[in-house]
Every structure is written in structure tokens, then in C-alpha cells.
Structure 1
């Protein structure tokens, strides 16, 4: 007799016993020994491998198939490490005391049990995220609708010493005998978002990956670890107080959320929690970012106690809720700044927020990367190509050579203002053939650029004969001033819309 799809080990053992006309405890004593008190513990979590091997021998089911009915088989997909003793992440505890269960740790869907040709309990119904049935659009239940007792299917055949089960699983309450399939469902309104989210969670667990956070195949473990971190952040006391400001979500059921883990929360609270998660993750990360801004949620509260937060969650809270907020990317920043300028408005983070309702946590780059260096010089090349006046072109070429030489040779504004061709030869002993297909990156290339400029461009700016400085002013006919170097650098940065780059020249040579 084979386990059914997603069947729980305890459910399969009960069906196995009843199919052979035995009570559960009788069969277990016969097969596993009279001292094998498997119902005095959470058998779905703690079943020893030797017990599974015996069950495999008498049932014909493979040990691999039986192992899949246990909760530890979720290791590596739902949680990183199974915890056989104590509380395991994502698994709702059943509170075993002798053979009784003090906590409602097993859930069920009346419609699923009613439709099953042979009813059985699902492994998914032991998981903390299982609060609704996505198939039937109804609430899951975790206690008897008649007497409110926690489910204990293994005790359902203990009511009579003389009556023995004949087939299948007895889906009746062990205490009052109520048939769970006859549960009259109260009408509930399930939000479509919640149903879709439940389907996503179950799909991620079943296939081992999920399309999430711009990743087409994110491993389910990374996905669930991030959700757990998100839950810890949303259920912290400080965050719950701030969530009261939200106009989109209700936190009524989260007011007394247990601090020892959401697995200990009652079913209505967990259902409310995952309904909230469905809303804040529907358009990840936008929906969550909107909630952060609306309620002014803080990084210190959202990060929880764990030091291991998956990148897809950590990136968002560090970016949007941290005191040291930065923009999402250079591409987005430049795109928005260009759009602001297109409206003939001087760019600022405040203006970006006014026009686009998008917070740019503007933090100028304090040191310039080689990529940004190339970007600025290429931008000046584009300016040169668009300029028809020969003298204006010469000024732009001067600026390009000056900024490149300053960057490569680490020259200050004053150094550039005083730079002579002899000084260049002192600083750099060798040279190369001038190459303008690639930007100068070495001292020898920088020297080659200066020598080319000295021979071909400098005279177009008409400096006085006595002037020895390499870089000269077209108006004064003398060496360029130190302050002019800084002003021309700021002009180049602003003209080419590199707003995130520090407009102070000193950042250029760091």
C-alpha cells in the first residue's frame, strides 16, 4: 500500500493499519515492538529510520517514498536544517503529551477530505504558511468544529475495545466522533491575492524553485528564508505600531503576536499574517517599498534578530529603510534626473520626489570609478562632436586632456594650473604613441596625450609666447587658474547629467 501524494506519515500509518483490520496501536506494537511508543512523540518529525525500514518491508513502499511523508524530508527546500527535537522552522508544533495533543498543529480542509476517494491528511497541513485551501477557496481548520479539540487521527479508533476498523482513515474527532467531512463551511471572503500567494508558496515547495525578485529560478530555500525574515520584521513590536498608519492593511490579529515564533501563533493570526504578506509581496518590491514609506518602517526593526537575511530581502530594506539610504542604481538615478531636466527644472532629489513620487536617497559618489571616468570623457567627446566653433572645440579638448592627466597622475587643481611640459617629462620618464580609441589609463599614455595636445591644440587657444603652462585660458591668454579647473570640472559633470558624481574635483583623483 503506497502513500498518497503529499500524504503525512501519521496519516499513511493509520490507513495502513485500518486497511489490514488493525487498530493503529496494535499494528505498531506488532511491527515495531511493544516498546515503540511512536505516538508519544511527533512521529511525523521524529520517526526513526529503522521504523521506516520495517514499514517499507511490510507495505512494499520504497524507503525513499516513505521518507517523503516525513517533515524532515523538507530539509533543503523549506528549511536549511531539520530540528528533530524542539521547534523546527515553518512546522506548527502539536504539543505532544503522552498520546494526547495539546496544540492544534494539524490542519485540514473539509472539502478536500470530502472529495478524496480515500481521505488522508496532507503533509502541507502541518506547515505554518498553510492557512487556506487554494483549491477550494476556503479556510483550513485545526480543531474539531463540534468540540474544539485538536486533531489526533491516531486516537480515532480508541473509542471502543471491541470495534475494529475495516478500511481507510477514520476522519472523525477522537473525542466526540464528529465527522470532519460534514463540517458546514461558514462563508468567508478570501482575497484573490491571498489565494495566489498560497499557490505560489505551495508551488515553490513542490518544485524547489520560484520566479521571484527578478530571478527566474530562485531556490525555494532562499525564497522561504527571505519570507521568514520579512515575517520577523513585520511582526516586531515596533513595526506593528508603525503599521497602524497603513491605509491598505489591517493588523488586528497581530496585536498579540507571539515572540517565540510565528509557528506558535494561532491559525486566525497566521491567516491574517499571510494575507498581509500576499499584499506586500504582490508586486515585489514596489508594494513593500510603498508600505515602508507610508508607515516609515525602519531597518533596525525590519531586519529582525537574524544575521543571515537573503539578498532579495536585505537589499530592499537596506536601500529603503536604512538611515544611510542610497539610490537603487546609477541607471535609474540618471534616468530620473534627465526627466527632471527635460521639464526645465534644476535637478534635486526633492524635485524628483515632487515630480515622480519616487524618493531618491541621494548620496553623491565620493570617489570616482574607472567606469565613471570613462563615462565623463566619452560625454565630453560627444560635446566636441556637436560643437562647430573651432575655438570652443579646442577648449573642450583641453578640458578632456586636463581631466585625464589630472586623474592618471593624481594632480590637484593647483598642480594642473601650474603644469608645464617639462614637469610632465619629470613626472613620467617614458611615453607611448597617442591613442584616442581608448582613454588614457597609465602615466605613459597620459604623457602621450599631453604631448599631442601641446603640438596640435594648445596654439588654437592663442596663449602669450611667454606662457609655459600646458593648460591656458582662452580669455586671459595665460595659464588657467586653479579655481577655473574646478569650475570647468563642475561644468562637465553637470552638462553631461552625471548628477550622482561628486562635482568637486578632489573626488576625481581619490
Structure 2
């Protein structure tokens, strides 16, 4: 039976946002609503923003009155297969998509928001763009996005709200209204990268130096640069770090994520710092950057994991192997060594991340 109270799917609205909003509009919990639409299907144990399976669309269309094509257009799968350049498996993490870190219905992260956008909304809702890992700021308000409750530090989980909550712009744990929280200015370089990435997706191609490349190649190049940044930050006295510093690119330990997690699992502050550095690398240009690598005798293995092939557009620029011999692990001091301070901090940060979702 169709709902008496219709809930429109707004432009750029995430599917999870719409489902949670629709539930509160009907006067019930999101879990109760999805259980009524899809009995026996545990919707909230998956990343529903990626897309709703075709076999599950018909009952949703019947109750909502919204065409199936609208739900298909709101799904993120098409965007991310454009980024990857190939079909993506449902049960794997997707590059450049914030990972929810789902355990049952509990999320470790994966959602973010602009409090000023929520304030201006007639009915607050979460944007599809806020799930994209390169989105770290709001271009309308020039502020850093928030990816956790400022008060209790819980992840953003609108699907765990209850009927009495009325709107989705609040914390499911402490009930803080996010429309009244303070904002932090966004790095303009990070915002430039964000807008450039959006433009590349819209055009489905980019120009890198004097080469025209596809959107998927462009994102692959920037994933490669993320790896370069992390490697340079890990070894501050290396030739790679000296080469970057010679170009005016400051690579410090703060660019090395404390947790050691993948980019899609990092907090927004760490992603913003890394994208700021990547934008500066793009401003300098890959040709000039690789010339600096050659001058400083940076080994190819210092730039990327040799088990993975670098992007095709990068391969002609790759630095030849250095004649210097690498120190083998066998040459290192034997015996058990205490873990470094950074390793201990990384383990502690990962533990806190797991504990965050286990709190009542």
C-alpha cells in the first residue's frame, strides 16, 4: 500500500538519507520502515548508498510512488565504476568512497556533513557528495565537513535514529542538533582539488601536462600521489622527502595517518591535509616533480609498492633503479625490538576507532 505521506527524493540526496528521512516522516524508526518494505532483508548491514538491487526496487517503488529510475540515478555505483574504469564487487571496498566499516547495523564512519547546509535545508538531508572521500569541505560555505558528532564523537548514523527524533540532522547517540555546531574553515588547496575532481568526473576526462587522460586514469594518478605522500612522511630523511622539499612541498609526519588506514577510512582532517599537498603537487606538474626525483636519485621502489603497477601515464616518468644496494632485513639488528612510538599510537588509534561503535 502506498504511503499516505509522500517523501520526495531530493537532488543529490543519498539513498540512506532518504530512507531515514522517509521513516521519520511516517512516524517510525528507519529499521521498522525497511523491515516493512523488505521483510527478512537486513538493509542497514550493507552500504545502501551504493545502490539498491534491481530485485528489491519494486516494493520500494510501490510504497513511495517514486520511479525506479530515480533510485537508480541516486545510487553511487555508476559514479564509482566511472572512477575505477571497471565493474565493482559489492562486498569489497571501493576506491575513493568513504567506507562505513559496518558491523551489523553499527558504522565506524563513512558519512559527513556541512552543518550550515543542514541549517539552510527546509528538511535536512545528507548529500551523495558527502560520501565521496575527496569531499572534505563545503564549497558553498568554505568550511570543513564534519564526520563525527562534535560532542560525543559518535559516527554519523541517521539510520539509527528513532521515530521521536523528527529530523535526521542530529546525533543518534547524544541527540545533539548538528545545525547549531561551530564550523572550521577549509583549506583552499583541498577545496580546489575537490572541485577539480568533480569537474573531471563531470567531463569524464582530464588533461595532465600535455596528455589527455580518462577520469579513471586521473583518479589512479592521484591515488599514486597519495602513496608517494605517505611514503615520504614515513621516511622524513629520505631522498624522496628531500626531492619534494626542493619543490617547496612540505612533507611532515602529520601527513602520515596515525592509524595507518586507507584513505577511504581516514578522518576528514587527515584527508584534507593530504589533498592540500596533492593539489600543490598538481600545481607544480608531474614532469617537474619527476625531474626532482631524478636529481635526488630517488629509487622507483621508493615511490610505490613494486607489487602494484603504477598508472600508465606515470610509467614513462618512473625513476630508474638506483645502483645503491638496499639494506636487507637480514642486515638489520637481530632480536626483538620494542615498537616505535608511532606504531603504538597507530594501534591505539585503531582500537579507539573500534571502541567508538561499541559504546551504548
TM-score class, shorter-chain normalisation, is 0.7 to 0.9
1:44 aligns with 2:44: no
Q: Tell whether the 8 Å contact from 1:233 to 1:304 is kept in structure 2 after alignment.
A: no
Structure 2 counterpart SS, 1:98: coil
- 1:416 matched to which residue of 2? none
Shift of 1:145: 0.8
Please give the TM-score of this superposition, normalised by the length of structure 1.
0.55
Deviations 1:461-490 (A, max 9, x none): xxxxxxxxxxxxxxxxxxxxxxxxxxxxxx
- 1:223 matched to which residue of 2? 218
Aligned runs of 1:310-459 on 2, under 5 Å? 310-316=311-317, 318=318, 321-323=319-321
Unpaired runs of 5+ in structure 1? 325-510
Q: Tell whether the 8 Å contact from 2:301 to 2:321 is kept in structure 1 after alignment.
A: no
Task: Provide the aligned C-alpha RMSD in A.
Answer: 2.7
Q: Distance in 2 between matches of 1:39 and 1:123?
A: 17
Residue 170 of structure 1: which of 160, 168, 171 is its match? 168
The 3 A distance-change label for structure 1 pair 54 and 315 is farther
1:205 aligns with 2:201: yes
Shift of 1:112: 1.9
Aligned residues: 309
Deviations 1:156-208 (A, max 9, x none): 226xxxx374xxx421000111111111124x3623x3322110012222342
Structure 2 counterpart SS, 1:210: strand
Q: Tell whether the 8 Å contact from 1:229 to 1:306 is kept in structure 2 after alignment.
A: no
The 3 A distance-change label for structure 1 pair 100 and 309 is same
Q: Distance in 2 between matches of 1:305 and 1:122?
A: 37
Deviations 1:414-451 (A, max 9, x none): xxxxxxxxxxxxxxxxxxxxxxxxxxxxxxxxxxxxxx
- 2:326 matched to which residue of 1? none
Shift of 1:59: 2.3
- 1:144 matched to which residue of 2? 149
Q: Distance in 1 between matches of 2:294 and 2:203?
A: 34
- 1:494 matched to which residue of 2? none
Q: Distance in 2 between matches of 1:66 and 1:46?
A: 8
Q: Distance in 1 between matches of 2:298 and 2:11?
A: 42
Shift of 1:81: 3.1
Shift of 1:244: 4.3
Q: Distance in 2 between matches of 1:36 and 1:95?
A: 19
Q: Tell whether the 8 Å contact from 2:249 to 2:277 is kept in structure 1 after alignment.
A: no
The structure showing larger relative contact order (alpha-carbon pairs under 8 Å, at least 6 residues apart) is 2
Deviations 1:103-146 (A, max 9, x none): 22111111222222322112222222222223322111110011
Residue 123 of structure 2: which of 118, 123, 126 is its match? 118
Q: Distance in 2 between matches of 1:150 and 1:284?
A: 37
Shift of 1:294: 7.2
Q: Distance in 2 between matches of 1:89 and 1:108?
A: 20
The 3 A distance-change label for structure 1 pair 267 and 105 is same
Q: Distance in 2 between matches of 1:235 and 1:260?
A: 11
Shift of 1:31: 1.5
Structure 1 counterpart SS, 2:206: strand
Q: Tell whether the 8 Å contact from 1:77 to 1:220 is kept in structure 2 after alignment.
A: yes
Q: Distance in 2 between matches of 1:119 and 1:10?
A: 13
Q: Distance in 1 between matches of 2:47 and 2:186?
A: 34
Residue 89 of structure 2: which of 61, 83, 103 is its match? 83
- 1:56 matched to which residue of 2? 61
The 3 A distance-change label for structure 1 pair 262 and 269 is same
Shift of 1:308: 4.2
